[in-house]
Amino acid sequence: MITFRLLFVLFCLVGITLLSSCAIVRPGQVGVKQRLGRIKSKQALKPGVYGICPFTTRVVKVPTRTINLPVNLTALPSKEGVSIDCELAVLFHIEPSSAIKIVETVGVRYGESIILSSLRSAAADVTAQYFAKDMHTFERENIEKAISEKMTSILGDRGFVVEAILLKSIQLPENLSRAIERKLQAEQEAQTMQFVLQRETQEAERLRIEAEGIRNANKIIAEGLSDLIIKYKSLEVFEKLSQSGNAKVIITNGNAPFLIDND
């Protein structure tokens, strides 16, 4: 019984030793091998399984996939001196070729601190060049690009690559928000009035053209009438009246007929 227990314990110890002697670098990571606290890797280890001595060596795993880091920034200055609160996100990743440098100079654990510090500095520098209302207009995309470029300049060749800055929400002072809303409402009302005026102008133009057409038609008719045509038309009227079965009395001076009904 004692021998069986000893064998079981030895088997467990061997298994644990073998497992701890293997380092697994997963996809989306690179590894940096350290021996007795010193970096022994000349190049970062690619994803795979590596054998190590668990007592002297360990593999520091550095993520290289895209990281989405949400951040809340407060009291950002604007061009007119208004303080702005905003919620944004930073998309960044670590260059695999710079993994060893990051472990040596910054450390994986403090990488996000470097990103946050550079973001706060870059965002303050950029927003100070824009009015607060610009963050609600088409300038928003330009602000995002400017912050990303500023962060890239601050980080330099540390190995962090800023992919994008995404402004999610902007919190302006309440009085400024109301002022912007009133301005937008006034602009919409002005556009509506401009549309109404344009429609009324078009309607007036339509009526003018219609009246001009009627006038021209009457002018043509008036120019085409003569005394002979009028007399001829009168004769046609007399003829139709004479053919009517109703009793009537026609009195005329030769120019215009007068019809007197017997009834």
Which tens digit of pLDDT belongs to each residue from 94-137?
998 888 888 888 887 788 888 999 999 999 999 889 887 777 77
Kindly report the average pLDDT of the chain as a whole number.
78
What pLDDT, on a 0 to 100 scale, did the predictor assign at position 225? 64
In angstroms, the Cα distances linking 46 to 52, 102, 161, 218 are 15, 16, 19, 94
Q: What is the pLDDT of residue 22?
A: 76
Q: What is the pLDDT of residue 254?
A: 55
Structure tokens at 227: 């005394």
pLDDT at 259: 47
**Amino acid present at 172:** L
Is the predicted pLDDT of residue 40 greater than 70, yes or no?
yes
Mean per-residue pLDDT for 51-61? 79
Q: Which of 53-62, 112-121, 233-242 has the highest mean pLDDT?
A: 112-121
According to the model, what pLDDT value does residue 149 have?
Answer: 93
pLDDT at 175: 66
Residue 255 has pLDDT above 70, yes or no: no
CA atoms of 165 and 148, how far apart (whole Å): 6
Task: For residue 164, name the pLDDT band (cuts at 50, 70, 90).
Answer: very high
Q: What mean pLDDT is predicted for residues 83-95?
A: 89
pLDDT over threshold 90, residue 82: no
**pLDDT at 173 > cutoff 80:** no
Please state the rounded mean pLDDT for residues 206-217: 84
CB-based burial, 160-198: b 16+ in 10 Å, e otherwise? bebeebebeebebeeebeeeeeeeeeeeeeeeeeeeeee
For 67-172, CATH number out of 3.30.9.90, 3.30.479.30, 3.40.50.150, 3.40.50.1390 equals: 3.30.479.30
Output the DSSP codes for 179-211: HHHHHHHHHHHHHHHHHHHHHHHHHHHHHHHHH
First to last CA, the chain: 146
Residue 168 CA to residue 72 CA, distance in Å, equals: 10
